[in-house]
Amino acid sequence: MATCSSCNKSLATADVLYTEDAQPVCVGCSAQREIKRDEKNAARNIKMAGVTCLVAGLVGFAAFYINYGLFFYPAAIVSVASGLYAGQAMLTSDRFTAHMTSADKTITMVCAIGGLAIAAFETLVLGGYIDWRPRV
């Protein structure tokens, strides 16, 4: 008879599952560990969406700056999409953001806002609302 390493419940031999570090756990504790792991992965994905927004915005700005439209449009689309996802997830997904530190939350929001601001600037320049001439 094994004992669950999390809740100390006695387990039949057929009911024993093991953690990544080879500790015996019951089905309920194993499911809880998997849910927590998946929620942490979702929190990491939210943070990476914010960082992706900023990086794509900078790539789009660099392409815009040298008048190379082939990279500008995809980068702008990626920047806006990931920025909107990161912002929406930060504001509405408390279940996932609970696994983020305050520094992670700040980094995510700053990167998303920065990337969206760059994309907005590029859009205003393309629309002729801002008179800015990129370097050729």
36-75 pLDDT, tens digit per residue, is 999 999 999 999 999 999 999 999 988 888 877 778 889 9
Residue 63, pLDDT score: 86
Residue 88, pLDDT score: 94
Residue 114, pLDDT score: 96
Q: What is the dihedral of CA 28, 30, 31, 35, to 10 degrees?
A: 140
Low-confidence ranges of the chain (pLDDT < 70): 134-136
Residue 118, pLDDT score: 94
Domain boundaries, the chain: 39-126
- Length of the chain as a residue count: 136
